[in-house]
């Protein structure tokens, strides 16, 4: 079936709610080709849910890439796309970060939004955080922040992750796996962008693995392959359903890792020729030469965004990082906090009277950096996971969006409709204030790339959208 759409065709009411008024890029004759888009189901993690600015909230949900896709599908016979949206009264969801301005040195001032939340205080929190208001009703966007391929096969995960728990009836919490839930939807068309968190948790923690979190490891390749294969085969139903799968990006290229290093190196006193850091779980010290600090594509050591408040302490006698860690763990128990500090000092053999970050006795904690060995672990896993994803796309006759290649190719920038975009923090338009998740503009760009991959694979002519009508980072 063919449809003719003019350039003035507007988005659905779900988008108009946010004040967006995007238009199609050009006059086009569109067609779904061989696709049945009557029931589109999105499978994935925080990126799929619309998580941004370090939180899940209503605007992000509405401007998620699956909702943009569903809107474009609606012009070629696509059906309704119910999402587990927060209400207007609880529009700020889990809470998120807002840009409040900049310091005199140009550093961003980020303030948490803590009103109109969907956080429940009437029940005990889950291991993964406070519970959120339950959603009742149909769901076709199954984006769950924090979920990994490893976690998707584990029924117990519903009793761990509050974002998954809010989507489940009480009798299914801890009893039904994510794979079971999404496969049971029996979509006519699906998207799968899953696997980022199988390396991301390890990477963003600087290679420090929490023994209490079985999902914080790099997922073994064999397990990833077996679970991902099961998931895609279940959704495809022996090729009865069509869809698109996406590879995972090189997480080392996101602003969370690329923002701090150049600034830190530029401000490091010339007398400091190297810094000293714990490696992985703190088993050993590593001397990092000044020239090894990553700037652009050079160097081997990446500093995380969470490093920022501590790097100003380089060369001073301090134990601030460890105090902050203990305070976060025991915010209302001074005795437990002090005991935790003593444990840190003993376990890591620290002497906080020595210069922080430049002495072996008071090194940088591993959580603040991703060193060359840790990056090699991440890179090897990413390569193996993407090989599985590509193989499953071919085996199930699915479209493929190669996110890994796409983001690697735009490291120096991407111009869309005369507007420049890059992976730079805040100014690059693509990434939100957490340095990991996309802005609405970034989501629109991803949706367009997926549409192009779908059209190329299936011979459809689903229209793309003018991405410049979606916002990037909100400035005060």
pLDDT band at 24 (very low <50, low <70, confident <90, very high): low
What is the pLDDT confidence band of residue 19, given thresholds at 50, 70 and 90?
A: very low
pLDDT of residue 297: 81
Segment 39-48, tens digit of pLDDT:
999 999 999 9
What local confidence, expressed as pLDDT, does residue 284 receive? 86
Q: How far apart are CA 375 and CA 54, in angstroms?
A: 23
pLDDT at 17: 38
The tens digit of pLDDT for each residue in 83-117 reads 999 999 999 999 999 999 999 888 899 999 999 99
Higher pLDDT, 25 or 162: 162
The dihedral formed by the CA atoms of 8, 13, 14 and 18, expressed in degrees to the nearest 10:
70
Residues 6+ apart with CB under 8 A from 340: 325, 326, 329, 330
- pLDDT of res. 7: 37
Closest by CA position to 168, among listed 203, 126, 215: 126
Strand partners, 52: 55
Taking the CB of residue 397, how many other CB atoms lie within 10 A of it? 12
Six-digit token string for 231:
């998931």
Give the pLDDT score at 471: 96
Each domain of the chain, given as residue ranges in start order, spans 2-252+374-469, 256-372
pLDDT for the residue numbered 44? 98
What is the C-alpha to C-alpha distance for residues 202 and 378, in angstroms, rounded to an integer?
Answer: 8
Q: Which pLDDT value is given to residue 280?
A: 72
Query: Which band of pLDDT confidence, cut at 50, 70 and 90, is reported for residue 29?
Result: confident
For residue 25, the model assigns a pLDDT of 52
Mean pLDDT of 26-46: 91
CA-CA-CA-CA torsion sign (464, 465, 466, 471): negative
Q: What is the pLDDT of residue 367?
A: 93
H/E stretch holding 79:
none
Percent of the chain at pLDDT > 90 equals 86
- What number of helices (H) and strands (E) belong to the chain? 17, 15
Task: Report phi then psi at 293, rounded to 5.
Answer: -70, 130
For the chain, give the percent of residues with pLDDT over 70. 93
* Banded pLDDT at 281 (limits 50, 70, 90): low
- Is residue 399 pLDDT above 70, yes or no? yes
- pLDDT tens-digit series, residues 293-329: 999 888 899 999 999 999 999 999 999 999 999 999 9
Residues linked to residue 380 through DSSP beta bridges, in sequence order: none
Average pLDDT over residues 73-82: 97
CB 274 within 8 A of CB 289: yes
Q: What is the pLDDT of residues 325-359, one digit of tens each?
A: 999 999 999 999 999 999 999 999 999 999 999 99
Q: What sign has the CA pseudo-torsion 30, 31, 36, 38?
A: positive
Q: What is the mean pLDDT of the chain?
A: 92
Residue 316 to residue 218: CA distance in whole angstroms: 34
The CA distance from 317 to 387, in Å, is 47
CA distance 98 to 113: 7
List of residues 6+ apart from 408 with CB closer than 8 A: 249, 250, 253
| Superfamily classification of domain 2-252+374-469 | SGNH hydrolase (3.40.50.1110)
Is pLDDT of 3 > 70? Answer: no
**How does residue 282 score in pLDDT terms, banded at 50, 70 and 90?**
low
What value does the mean pLDDT take over residues 392-413?
A: 96
For residue 29 the two structure tokens come to 């004759």
Average the pLDDT over 63-90 and give the result.
Answer: 98
Phi, psi (rounded to 5 degrees) for 121: -110, 0
What's the mean pLDDT in 434-450?
A: 98
**Nearest Cα to 207, choosing from 215, 217, 197?**
217
pLDDT band at 22 (very low <50, low <70, confident <90, very high): very low
Q: What is the pLDDT of residue 16?
A: 44
Residue 211's pLDDT is 81
* pLDDT at residue 133 greater than cutoff 90: yes
For the cut 70, the answer to whether the pLDDT of residue 191 exceeds it is: yes
237 sits in the region (left: phi over 0; alpha: psi -120 to 50; else beta) called left
Predicted pLDDT of residue 6: 43
């Amino acid at each position: 079936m063919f449809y003719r759409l003019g350039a003035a065709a507007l988005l659905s009411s779900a988008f108009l709610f946010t004040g967006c008024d995007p238009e199609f890029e050009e006059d086009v004759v569109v067609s779904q080709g061989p696709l049945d888009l009557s029931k589109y189901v999105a499978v994935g993690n925080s990126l799929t849910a619309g998580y941004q600015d370090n939180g899940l909230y209503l605007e992000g949900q509405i401007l998620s890439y699956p909702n943009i896709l569903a809107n474009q599908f609606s012009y070629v016979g696509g059906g309704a796309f119910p999402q587990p949206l927060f209400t207007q009264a609880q529009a700020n969801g889990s809470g998120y970060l807002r840009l409040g301005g900049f310091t005199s040195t140009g550093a961003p001032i980020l303030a948490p939004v803590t009103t109109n939340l969907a956080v429940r205080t009437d029940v005990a929190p889950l291991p993964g955080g406070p519970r959120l208001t339950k959603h009742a009703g149909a769901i076709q966007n199954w984006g769950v922040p924090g979920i990994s391929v490893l976690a998707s096969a584990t029924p117990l995960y519903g009793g761990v992750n509050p974002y998954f728990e809010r989507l489940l009836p009480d009798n299914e919490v801890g009893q039904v796996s994510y794979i079971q839930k999404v496969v049971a939807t029996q979509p006519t068309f699906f998207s799968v962008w899953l696997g980022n968190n199988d390396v991301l948790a390890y990477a963003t923690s600087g290679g420090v693995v929490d023994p209490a979190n079985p999902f914080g490891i790099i997922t073994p390749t064999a397990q990833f392959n077996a679970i991902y294969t099961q998931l895609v085969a279940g959704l495809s139903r022996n090729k009865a359903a069509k869809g698109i799968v996406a590879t995972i990006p090189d997480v080392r290229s996101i602003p969370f890792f690329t923002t701090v290093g150049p600034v830190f190196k530029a401000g490091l006193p010339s007398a400091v020729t190297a810094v000293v850091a714990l490696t992985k779980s703190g088993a050993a010290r590593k001397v990092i030469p000044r020239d090894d600090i990553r700037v652009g594509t050079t160097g081997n050591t990446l500093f995380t965004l969470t490093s920022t408040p501590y790097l100003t302490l380089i060369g001073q006698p301090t134990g601030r990082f460890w105090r902050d860690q203990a305070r976060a763990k025991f915010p209302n128990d001074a005795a437990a906090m002090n005991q935790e500090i003593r444990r840190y000092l003993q376990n890591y053999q620290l002497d906080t009277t020595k210069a922080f970050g430049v002495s072996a006795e008071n090194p940088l904690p591993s959580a603040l950096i991703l060193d060359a060995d840790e990056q090699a672990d991440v890179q090897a896993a990413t390569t193996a996971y993407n090989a599985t994803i590509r193989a499953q796309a071919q085996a199930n006759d699915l479209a493929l969006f190669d996110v890994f290649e796409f983001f690697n190719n735009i490291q120096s920038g991407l111009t869309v409709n005369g507007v420049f975009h890059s992976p730079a923090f805040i100014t690059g338009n693509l990434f939100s204030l957490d340095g990991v998740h996309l802005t609405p503009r970034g989501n629109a760009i991803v949706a367009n790339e997926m549409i192009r991959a779908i059209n190329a694979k299936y011979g459809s002519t689903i229209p793309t959208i003018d991405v410049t009508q979606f916002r990037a980072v909100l400035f005060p």
